[in-house]
Chains A and B, each alone.
Chain A
Amino acid sequence: MILFDRVTYRYPGVEAPILQDVSLAIREGEFVLVVGASGAGKSTLLRCLNGLVPHFYGGTLQGTVRVAGRDPVQAGPAAMSRLVGFVFQNPEAQFVVDTVEAELAFAMENHGLPQAAMRKRIEEVLDQLGIAHLRERRISTLSGGEKQRVAIAAVLTLQPQVLVLDEPTSQLDPQAAEEVLTALQKLNADLGLTVILSEHRLERVIQYADRLIYLPGAGRAPLQGAPQEVLEQIDLVPPLVQLGKALGWRPLPLTIKEARRLAEGLSLQAPPLPAAPPPVGEVEIAIEDLWYAYDGRPALRGVNLEIHRGECVALMGRNGSGKTTLLKHLVGLLQPGRGRVVVRGMDTRRVDMEALIRLVGYVPQNPDALLFADRVRDELAFTRANHGIADASRDEALLELLGLAAYADDYPRDLSVGERQRVALASVLVARPEIILLDEPTRGADYLQKRALARYLAAEREQGHTVILSTHDVELAAALADRVVILGDGQVVVDGPTREVMTHSLVFSTQVGRLFRDSRFLTVDDVLKGLV
């Protein structure tokens, strides 16, 4: 179905090729997962399949690409759209019109399909993706998972033979990601559609894949084969596989079910966890009966929380549950509709934001809102100048810690999503805030980058700094947070020590936590330490 023969591609103006001598073959009906570190060329490889590379991006492509016998380089993306459906990372950026049904019709109208055929195909894809009830909805009113399913449906109306998805779940909460991936698995299994998908969070998707393609980057040849075979040879692996490798389990487990069978004979011993000690340190943040509404639509409904100095708290919950709204209250970007927020003795309604930001650093979800300078190091200098900090000696160390030293003189907007996120983080943290608020800090980050971030934040906490992160990343929360607060519909649903909350949750738990169902074993390290 798909053939790459010695494909080499260079972006315009860049000397080093992003893909070098890539050869691979994908059979019809396969579910293929493309993995690799940020910037390894995953998106580029996917864009070669429909001719967006090189047609849309320019540059030079050598070698041969064939998709169902056609050459995407010669045909171009518009002509290839009937063979290859392409779904992008951010569903919102790909919608042309505002209603679901009109969006589904868009591609077919472009190809001049008769009205009767369009109606039939729209009915089919609505049913296939379970979104018939959304038919007349405005896209702006849909949830993240619904939007992504509409984006998939919008390309399926052309009945392509191959469906390509570039990190389709990176912006979704676990439940929404599950909805999307289940839909993809059904399309692959029931219709025989070839699915090619890139993803960082392998734990979400690895069980569906027939084959894995790993791009090591830096012009090296990709690894490809059965998932276990490839995972054996690489470092970017989900926690369950990491555990399997450490314990010598073979074949490597891809699902909790497989791991449970392998873990049956495992002898673990760890002292019972002491009752959670009461938080020490002064109350850093006190939230009392906090209510907030956007144009009459409630976002927070009577939230009460106390966060102590030096604590690390993970805010979790579905998209739209109120996490970001709560964080914005802590830095004074929003004022309570009712109730109050007190940050180190300062009532946020009564102090200037300038006083709060001397103490609180907030890294928003969208790093692009921050970045405007010509170089990464200039972004840091801009924040320092705003805070009146002349000493630049810490900049290099901070960039080094966050894995950005090599990009210090690069234009921030040219970096990958994960890298931009870390530049935004560095741009805020350079002011040395004592309270750090992070909104989805691991979006687009690979496992190694996540571990580096966790190490950095742990060091900040050891210095007595308070860290509050809003995240869907249960592994990060388990590795870092003392406490998990789960929000639902603007209210605190659960608030407790991380181990306790995660052990009793079906959704907000780590892979290892779900495997052992024991609050002493949440991470791979916990298990390795508990081995008898």
Chain B
Amino acid sequence: MRHPLAWFLWTVAAATTALILRNPLYLTLLLLAVWANYAAVEQSTAQAKSWRALLRVGALIWALTIPFNALMLHQGEITLFRLPSHWPLIGGKVTLEAVAVGFASGYSLWALLGVFAVFNLAVDASQLLRYTPKFLEQAGVIIAIALTFIPQMIVSLQEIREAQRIRGHRFRRWRDQLPLVMPLLTTALERAIQLAESMEARGFGAEGGDRQGRPMWAQWLIAPGLGLLLSGLVLRALAPAPAYRFIALLLAGAGLIAYAFGRLGHRARRSRYRRSAWRPQDTLGACVSGLVLSGVIALRWVRGGSLGYYPFAPGALLPPFEPGIGLLIALLSLPGLILLIAEIRASGAPSGGAV
């Protein structure tokens, strides 16, 4: 599977599954499926290195959620030990069920991080950019640049830290971070200005040379759209209004913004260079992702309990397992397996030579 849209669909399916699942057995299967894809797409690039580091941090966070849950949740039948009850927050019994909940929730977050690592390593941001709707083209470029900025900033951070250390500076207290933070911010700003200058010099925002092409009324329409969205969210948060009121406000706001962008995009004269070719393996990957996504959502709707995990019920410490659901989740490994098989075939093929 190579096509960015196919990978996008896989990411939606895998991320939704990670968000819905709490059952550790299914999560283990999901993690194995994600790992199969990660192994297939991982490269020896700086970006891959950054993601490896981030996954290690994710594992650490997961490891921390276990004692956090164990100490904060005092429900369950199987008591491991007790802490003095007068200790604030953590005082009371520490149960195996609470440990299991911590294990499952951290597991889900780690799987989600893995899904995004696969997506970022499999898909070049600039490729995906070609599929953003026309009215979001400029926002898409900005996001693509922001994504490429992150690894650059990590490199700058390392450079600055080294440079200040060799001047004899020691980073001990938070105040000592100033010689690190200031050059980092200035470097980021200067780099952004240089890039903006380069983009301007290459016609970004030229709109076919017509700077006056954007209708002002459409630009003004964005403001009331945002206002409606905000009102909907505030109403939802503060007032016990019926659901249809804030939903109506949200829909009206989103509609207004979409219409404004649509009008603005209509005038944009940006064209698009070559798009990636869609191959049979992309169709297979997309179908599998669609199947898993619809299957998981349907299961959540119809039999929510079968995907969740609630160890506090009597006899529920061991999570249930249904082979059909397990198979459905395992299907997410297919794109990675296809890539790995293709790679093995390619490496086994005779190289060069006259035929």
Interface: A212 (CB within 8 A): no
Cα distance A501–B349 when bound, in Å?
A: 47
Per the 8 Å Cβ criterion, residues 200-224 of B in contact with A are 200-206, 208-209, 211
- B202 touching A107, Cβ below 8 Å: yes
For the complex, count residues of A whose C-beta is within 8 A of B. Answer: 69
- B44 touching A296, Cβ below 8 Å: yes
- A370 touching B163, Cβ below 8 Å: yes
The interface residues of chain B lying within 8 Å CB-to-CB of A400 are none
- A371 touching B211, Cβ below 8 Å: no
Given contacts A119-B274, A368-B183, A372-B182, contact A333 B202 (CB under 8 A): no
The interface residues of chain B lying within 8 Å CB-to-CB of A113 are 271
- A86 touching B201, Cβ below 8 Å: yes
- A297 touching B194, Cβ below 8 Å: no
Interchain CB contact (< 8 A) of B201 among A77, A369, A427, A431? A77
Interface: B85 (CB within 8 A): no
The interface residues of chain A lying within 8 Å CB-to-CB of B198 are 86, 88, 93-94, 96
Given contacts A295-B49, A333-B162, contact A112 B125 (CB under 8 A): no
Cα distance A197–B124 when bound, in Å?
A: 34
The interface residues of chain B lying within 8 Å CB-to-CB of A463 are none
Interchain CB contact (< 8 A) of B200 among A77, A362, A370, A427? A77
- A372 touching B179, Cβ below 8 Å: yes
> What is the chain B residue whose CB lies nearest that of A353?
B165
> What is the chain B residue whose CB lies nearest that of A76?
B211
The interface residues of chain A lying within 8 Å CB-to-CB of B204 are 78, 96, 106, 110
In angstroms, how far is the closest chain A Cβ from the Cβ of B336?
21
- A369 touching B162, Cβ below 8 Å: yes
Cα distance A413–B195 when bound, in Å?
A: 17
- A372 touching B194, Cβ below 8 Å: no
Interface: A235 (CB within 8 A): no
Interface: B160 (CB within 8 A): yes
Interface flags, A72-100, vs B, CB<8A=1, else 0: 00001111011010101010011011110
Cα distance A173–B294 when bound, in Å?
A: 56
Interface: A525 (CB within 8 A): no
Interface flags, B265-283, vs A, CB<8A=1, else 0: 0000111111000000000
Cα distance A427–B272 when bound, in Å?
A: 49
Cα distance A97–B273 when bound, in Å?
A: 13
Given contacts A93-B194, A113-B271, A368-B186, contact A78 B200 (CB under 8 A): yes
In angstroms, how far is the closest chain A Cβ from the Cβ of B156?
7
A residues near B (Cβ < 8 Å) are: 50, 52, 55-56, 76-79, 81-82, 84, 86, 88, 90, 93-94, 96-99, 101-102, 105-115, 118-119, 122, 138, 140-141, 154-155, 158, 295-297, 328, 331, 333, 353-354, 357, 360-362, 364, 366, 368-372, 382-383, 386-387, 413, 427-428, 431
The 6 closest A-B pairs by CB, nearest first: A386-B168, A112-B269, A97-B126, A94-B198, A105-B273, A78-B206
B residues near A (Cβ < 8 Å) are: 44-46, 49, 124-127, 129, 141, 144-145, 148, 156, 159-160, 162-170, 178-179, 182-183, 186-187, 190-191, 194-206, 208-209, 211, 269-274
